[in-house]
Amino acid sequence: MSKREVADELIDRMMRDERVYQNATLQLMLEVANMKRFPELERHSDSEHLLTQARDAVAELKRQTSTHEQLILERQRAEAERAAYAQQVELQRRFADELEELKQEFHQLASLETQPQQRGRQFEKFLNRLFGIFDLDPRLSYELRYEQIDGAFSFDTDDYILEAKWTKKKVDVKDANHFSEKVRDKGKNALGLIVSVNGFTGDAIEKYSRRTPFMTMDGADLFLVLEQRVRLDDLLRRKKRHANETGECYFPANRLFE
C-alpha cells in the first residue's frame, strides 16, 4: 500500500468517527500546519512547483487552524497548572499528615516520664525526623573522641550541632556551658541548637544573653511547630537573626505572634 493510500485510509477513519478522533485530527493538522521543510518534494524533479504548492497549502492550513492552536495551547497550559496545583495540594497533605504523626509521637514520648533514657534516645530520633520533614539534612547522634553529639543539621548554608534534652529539670548554666564548649571546639563557623523540652533557667539565659554560639528551643516552640502555627525553618531563621543582632540565645516562638 502506497503512502497516499495509507494517508487516505487514515483520513477516512478519522472522518467516520469524528468525535473519537477530533483531538488527534486537530493535533495532526497543527503539526502539518507547522511544517517548514518537505524533504521528499525537494528531491522531486518538479520540486520548485511542488514546494510552492505545499507552502501555500500549509500557510492556508495554518490560517485556518490558528484559533484551534491557541485554544489547545491554553487548554494544555490550564491542564499543566491543574496538575501542578494538585501535586502541591498532595505534598501539603503529606506534610500535614507527617506533622500530625509527629505530634502524636510527641505526646507518647511525654508518657515515658519513668523511662528517661529510653525517652532521650527516642527524642533524638523524633527531632531527626522533624528536621528531615523541613529538609534540614539532619544526622542522628554520633560519637567523637571524648564526647557524644546528639545530632546535627544544616540550615541556610550553616552547619549546626544539636543537643536534645528531655529531663525533669531545666537546662542550667552548667549544661549550657558544656554545650557551648562542644560548639566552640568544632569549626570556626560552627553553630549550635539546644532543644530542651522543659526549658532553660533564667541564669542560663542571662549567661548567654550578650554573646552566644548557640540558639535555644523549648517544648512550647516545638508544639507551635507541630500545631503548624509556625514553620520550623522560619522559626530557626528568626532565632538566628535575633542571636546575630543581640547576642542572645533565647527567642521564644510566641514572640512571633506579638
Q: Sketch the domain layout of the chain as residue ranges.
A: 3-81, 116-257
Kindly give, in sequence order, each residue whose CB lies less than 8 Å from that of residue 36, ignoring residues fewer than 6 positions away.
none
* b/e per residue 197-211 (b: at least 16 CB within 10 A): bebbbeebbebbeee
DSSP summary character for residue 170: P
Q: Does 97 score more than 70 pLDDT?
A: yes
- What percent of the chain lies above the pLDDT cut of 70? 85
C-alpha cell at 233: 525553618
Q: What is the pLDDT of residue 20?
A: 61
Among 3.40.50.620, 3.40.1350.10, 3.60.140.10, 1.10.150.530, name the CATH number for the domain at 116-257: 3.40.1350.10
In terms of DSSP H, where are the helices of the chain? 3-16, 18-33, 39-42, 47-110, 116-133, 173-184, 202-207, 219-226, 232-246
Q: What's the one-letter identity of residue 221? A: D
pLDDT digits (tens, 9 = 90+) for 194-206: 999 999 999 999 9
Whole-prediction pTM: 0.68
Of 52, 192, 64, 198, nearest to 119 by C-alpha is: 198
